[in-house]
Amino acid sequence: MSSNANKAAWISAPKATPLEVGPAPMPTPQGTEVTIQIHSVALNPADPVVQRLAILLEPKDYPFILGCDMAGTVVAVGPSSTFKPGERVIALAASWGRKDPKYGAFQLYALADTPFLTKIPDNVSFNEGCVLGLGLTTAAYALFNPDTLALDLPKPGGNAPNGKIVLVWGGASSVGACGIQAAKAAGYTIASTASARNFELLREMGVEYMFDYSSATVIDDIVAALKGKGEMAGIFSAIGKPETLVQCAAVIQRLEGRQHVATVRPPGFPAVENWPEGVEISNNASSHMKSEVSGAVWGAWLEGALRDGSMKCRPKYEVVGKGLEAVQDAMDLMSKGVSAKKLVVEFI
């Protein structure tokens, strides 16, 4: 690995477009970090939003390397890492949180660190595995953190069914698909909403009760189907729109159990108007995730669940380009929105 082998798709300044491909420093892993040679990256809605609106970063942070989801091969390890060169891994890229481009996914070699780093078994390709990083992390925060739904954590091999129900609103989204599967592994019965064309995806992930969110009667339909079927453990809305959250509140108020809607809204977002008294609502910040949650999900459960197929890399990926030069077009596609799909760019 020569020291000048790294290249990145840089964002040169706030709101700059297109990304510019150019040399990047070869990162050196410290402590428990690893350097990953990235094979595949997946796009998230936040990637083009950060580019367009220049949020999350200060002007002094530029030039910068964006990108949250990566899969690749470990090529170097820090002195305290338990990983080994040659291992196939996925990771949540943490460049925003650390304000450091060395951790961004849109480069050939990036740093990653525990806890948001795990090996992938041979039955999972890089294109499949790269779709999980931000989706799973966001879902895990909403489902398991003590200040959100605080559900039972999934144990390796999965928990026995506990009879409690979780409604995941937006099950065909990346965050929702990860949320469905993680909550199911933790022993919960899953209800979910999606467009009817995506019900097969929900079924494949083990959803028991499915609802079309575009139906005018969706709230009544959910209440009628779930009433008397078990205690609600709460609702996770993978969709942050206020009108969707108000629908979630209307559902939970009419059912027995935990009156809590966990959301994907980042901390500091304005309160949802007309929020009913007696229903809790929580925002979502993976940087505040408790180590017992990340350790249980990313550390103890995920690799085995990928191996035994109980955790599927969903929504399915679609390769939309090859090489760093393709990242900007993928960002532009992402900003138009997707249905039950992860956009992936291959670097190798």
Ligand X SMILES: NC(=O)c1ccc[n+]([C@@H]2O[C@H](COP(=O)([O-])OP(=O)(O)OC[C@H]3O[C@@H](n4cnc5c(N)ncnc54)[C@H](OP(=O)(O)O)[C@@H]3O)[C@@H](O)[C@H]2O)c1
CB atoms within 10 A of CB 274: 8
- Which positions from 176 through 215 interact with ligand X, judged by CB under 6 A? 176, 193-195, 198, 213
Of 82-121, which residues contact ligand X (CB under 6 A)? none
Report the C-alpha gap between 156 and 141 in whole angstroms. 18
Give the span between the Cα atoms of 267 and 262, in whole angstroms: 12
- Cα Rg of the chain, angstroms: 20
- Contact of 251 with 223, CB cutoff 8 Å: yes
Nearer to ligand X, 104 or 187 (CB): 104
User: In angstroms, what is the minimal distance from the CB of 134 to ligand X?
Assistant: 5
- The residue among 66 and 108 lying less far from ligand X, judged by its C-beta, is 66
Query: Using CB under 6 A, which of 181, 286, 294, 328 touches ligand X?
Result: 286
174 near ligand X, judged by CB under 6 A: yes
For residue 63, the tally of other CB atoms under 10 A from its CB is: 15
Phi, psi values for residue 320, rounded to 5°: -110, 5
Token pair of 161 as six digits:
């069914």
Told to check if 245 binds ligand X by CB under 6 A, we report: no
16 or 338, CB closer to ligand X?
Answer: 338
Residues in 32-71 that interact with ligand X by CB under 6 A:
44-46
> Least separation, in Å, of the C-beta of 203 and ligand X?
13
Q: Among residues 72 and 240, whose Cβ is nearest to ligand X?
A: 240
From the CB of 317, what's the least distance to ligand X, in Å? 12
Residue from 244, 259, 282, 294 binding ligand X (CB under 6 A): 244
* Shortest distance, position 320 Cβ to ligand X, whole Å: 14
Kindly tell me which residue out of 38, 130, 219, 238 binds ligand X, with binding defined by CB under 6 A: 238
Question: In the set 48, 240, 259, 313, which binds ligand X (CB under 6 A)?
Answer: 240
| Shortest separation between residue 43's beta carbon and ligand X, angstroms | 9
The Cα 61–Cα 25 span in angstroms is 16
Q: State which residue, 24 or 245, has the beta carbon closest to ligand X.
A: 245
User: What pairs with residue 344 in β-bridges?
Assistant: 42, 319
CB of 26 to ligand X, least distance (A): 29
Q: In terms of Cα–Cα distance, which of 269, 333, 315, 289 is closest to 175?
A: 315
Q: Is the dihedral of CA 292, 120, 341, 348 positive or negative?
A: positive
β-pairing, 117-119 vs 317-322, is unpaired
Closest distance of CB 283 from ligand X, Å: 7
Binding of residue 175 to ligand X (CB under 6 A): yes
Q: How far apart are CA 197 and CA 152, in angstroms?
A: 31
| Residue 239 found at the interface with ligand X (CB under 6 A) | yes
3-class secondary structure, 280: strand
Closest CA to 326 of 15, 6, 9: 9
CB of 244 to ligand X, least distance (A): 5
Residue 41 is given by DSSP the state E
Min dist CB 27 to ligand X, Å, is: 24
Nearest to 70, CA basis, from 117, 28, 31 = 117
Q: What's the residue count for the chain?
A: 348
Identify which of 340, 317, 344 has the alpha carbon closest to the alpha carbon of residue 330. Answer: 344
- Are 42 and 126 contacting, i.e. CB atoms less than 8 angstroms apart? no
Count of residues engaged in binding ligand X, rule: CB under 6 A? 30
- 133 near ligand X (CB under 6 A): no
Q: Which of the ranges 22-30, 87-95, 235-243, 302-310 carries the binding residues for ligand X, by CB under 6 A?
A: 235-243
Task: Tell me: does residue 156 bind ligand X (CB under 6 A).
Answer: no
Residues that bind ligand X (CB under 6 A): 44-46, 134-135, 138, 169-170, 172-176, 193-195, 198, 213, 238-241, 244, 264, 266, 284, 286, 338-340
